[in-house]
Amino acid sequence: MSKADEIFIAMCKDILENGVSSEGEKVRARWADGTPAHTIKKFGVVNRYDLSEEFPILTLRPTNLKAAIDELLWIWQKKSNNIKDLNSHIWDSWADENGSIGKAYGYQLSIKHKYPEGEFDQVDRIIYDLKHNPYSRRIIANMYNHSDLHEMNLYPCAYSITFNVTGRKLNAILNQRSQDVLVANNWNVAQYAILVHMFAQVCDLEVGELVHVIADAHIYDRHIPLVKELIQRTPYPAPKLWINPEKKDFYDFKVEDFVLEDYQAGPQIKNIPVAI
């Protein structure tokens, strides 16, 4: 069993056994038929993944790592807010007639700010600090810009990441305000594990820990039987992640530069209802 499976199973059991239901409360989210989408949730979930030990991807069911990386590169490398630059349709429902999701995610990372060393956007500032001042305790990216929230079609869910170098290991804390555990948990974990690997490789560091902090970790009511079945499955050992060692520039990485070796996983859960 992979550590990612162990963490996921323990988190889901805790939510199901000790979580708080929103039944009887007024909720924003709705199912496609207009019914309120209620949840059972835990506040302040913290999961730790040692990236030097294994790549944290679920084997209980497959995670589409290539699609997850494509979205990660769309936000962090292309710094785009237009779905025309994305190869999947996961953002279609949040885009306007021009394909824009507003001043969200990649848009925020692209804004340049003035520093004593010059102008940098948030991504380039991270790279600069990891190369020139890796023991800084100020290496942070934040996409939750209150002055632009009214122009975002969706407020950022995974909204900030803090990098911290210990010895030669690059660690990161990902902060997420809200998460649909069944649909998005391992998607986000795998994405930001890849991001740590990318920054570590281009800044001549080793990977350390990814700490995932979720303010509102929830399971939707219509997902409960799916989650219960999922966490009863037999997991497999963690696969190995191969990254193209020739890539030394953050902006040169492509989806095909990341390969999972010996990835075994249980059957995919199809037709998962999604609340909006």
Q: List the catalytic residue out of 15, 157, 161, 227.
A: 157
Max alpha carbon distance in the chain (Å)? 55
- 203 assigned to active site: no
47 is known to lie in a ligand binding site: no
State residue 41's pLDDT score. Answer: 98
264 is known to lie in a ligand binding site: no
State residue 127's pLDDT score. Answer: 98
179 is known to lie in a ligand binding site: yes
State residue 276's pLDDT score. Answer: 84
142 is known to lie in a ligand binding site: no
User: Which residue positions in the chain have pLDDT lower than 70?
Assistant: none
- CATH code of 3-261, in short, is 3.30.572.10
Per-domain residue ranges for the chain?
Answer: 3-261
